[in-house]
Amino acid sequence: MEKISSKVKKIKLNAANFLKIVSNRKKKIDSAESVDVKPLSGYRPNAIASVIHPERQFVKVSEITAVTGSAKLIKLVPDKDRGTERLAPFAAGSCISVEVSIDGRTYHRPYSISSSPLEGYYEIIVKSANGGIVSNFLNDNVNAGDGFVISEPFGELTYEPLRDAKTVVGIAGGVGITPFRSFIKAISDGAENFDLILFYGIDNPSDIVLKDEFDRACSNPKIRVVYVMSGEGDVPDGFEKGFVTAELIKKYAPEGDYSVFACGPEAMYDFLEVELKKLGLRKKFIRFDYRGEPLRPKKLGDYIPASCESYKITVDDHRALTEITCGGDETLLKAMERNGIRTRTKCMSGICGYCHTKVSEGDYYMPGNRDGRRAADAVYGYIHPCCTFPRSDMVIKLP
């Protein structure tokens, strides 16, 4: 240690020396002896990082199972012919972004992984939806053997033993059940170790996916599933009626601390915000899985109406400037997709930062509950187009 420090020339840190750092470093590099350097991918930490965080993964569909009249379970395995030997590991509750080409346009959509981390494959549940271009396409057109490019697994709805309580109260609305299937499987096979009380909200019993599987999983004392039916009609025995209220949570939750994980439509989160306040839970125990595009701006509390409904957006993709139009109630990402402009996107919920884009000109609105930017990004004019609505003509520069 002493030897090394004796060779280090001490430099007084002041503004003049600071400004010379780059030019001095360049001079030293230029005058240094040339040596053979191993490619960076040859270093063990980089090799491990590329397995855990691959830039992209090639998968193919190995099986498709209908789980309700409008939802399918799609099993994805590594596509070795295209270079993916094994899938990146993930924690239960994570999702992947699936790239799909439809009519010459490229779309990316996040889907929760619903298999267990120990199973060696990813399963996703895709439900047909009104206006859901990608979900409808996957539901209607995908066959066993089809190939896709997907992202690494990501997401924040994962269990952290250092942060979360020993019991998790899960609240799933409709197709928001998908990450909870992963939690249930992971608790069953030992990949996760916590108690789960899951409220599964549905309109009608026919909306429930994989009920037999969930009921079987409940033989494990760590798992309990409570079906909560909000639609009209007779309520089956053992089901609760209505919505997941503070009162209902108290009926099943343990004394003391518990975490709350929720996944479902944004309207469900607005309702839960009010209900969970009544329970006085600490903020660190509450996690809402915002996934997919935000609600139309006019439905969001912090939106200040703008004067015009449609704006001109000039997109600089480093090769050319392209002018497109974007409605005041459309995200910049959606407008770019519609116009066939490719850009980076993963979560579509403003959290991952992957779509980080510079605004050169113009005014915009980002819903407060989706604004996951760093403070410096907001100051220096960076946005997440997946959750940004124009409020004037804009000029943006893609990453």
Q: Of these, 127, 384, 396, 398, which contacts ligand FES (CB under 6 A)?
A: 384
Residue 386 near ligand FES by CB under 6 A: yes
Contact 290, 259 (CB under 8 A): no
CB of 18 to ligand FES, least distance (A): 33
Q: Copy the structure tokens of residue 212.
A: 């037999």
Binding piece for ligand FES, criterion CB under 6 A, among 29-37, 117-125, 165-173, 340-348: 340-348
Sort residue 249 into left (φ over 0), alpha (ψ -120 to 50) or beta: alpha
- 67 or 336: whose CB is closer to ligand FES? 336
Site for ligand FES in 342-381 (CB under 6 A): 345-348, 350-355
Give the H/E segment covering residue 374. Answer: none
Give min distance, CB of 187 to ligand FES, in A.
Answer: 28
DSSP secondary structure letters along 51-115: HHS-S-EEEEEEEEEEEETTEEEEEEEE-GGGT--SPPP--TT-EEEEEEEETTEEEEEEEE--S
In three-state secondary structure terms, 199 is: strand
Please classify residue 230 by burial: count the beta carbons closer than 10 Å to its beta carbon, then call 0-12 exposed, 13-18 middle and 19+ buried: middle
Nearer to ligand FES, 350 or 362 (CB): 350
| Cβ closest to ligand FES, residue 76 vs residue 348 | 348
Residue closer to ligand FES, measured from CB, 263 or 355: 355
The residue among 195 and 317 lying less far from ligand FES, judged by its C-beta, is 317
Distance CA 208, CA 202 (A): 7
With contacts defined by CB under 6 A, how many residues of the chain interact with ligand FES? Answer: 12
Q: At its nearest, how many Å lie between ligand FES and the CB of residue 331?
A: 9
In the bound state with ligand FES, the residue whose beta carbon lies nearer, of 111 and 214, is 111
Stretch of residues binding ligand FES (CB under 6 A), selected from 47-55, 118-126, 217-225, 341-349 = 341-349
C-alpha span between 131 and 307 (Å, rounded): 27
Place of tokens 């409008």: 70
- Residues at the interface with ligand FES (CB under 6 A): 345-348, 350-355, 384, 386
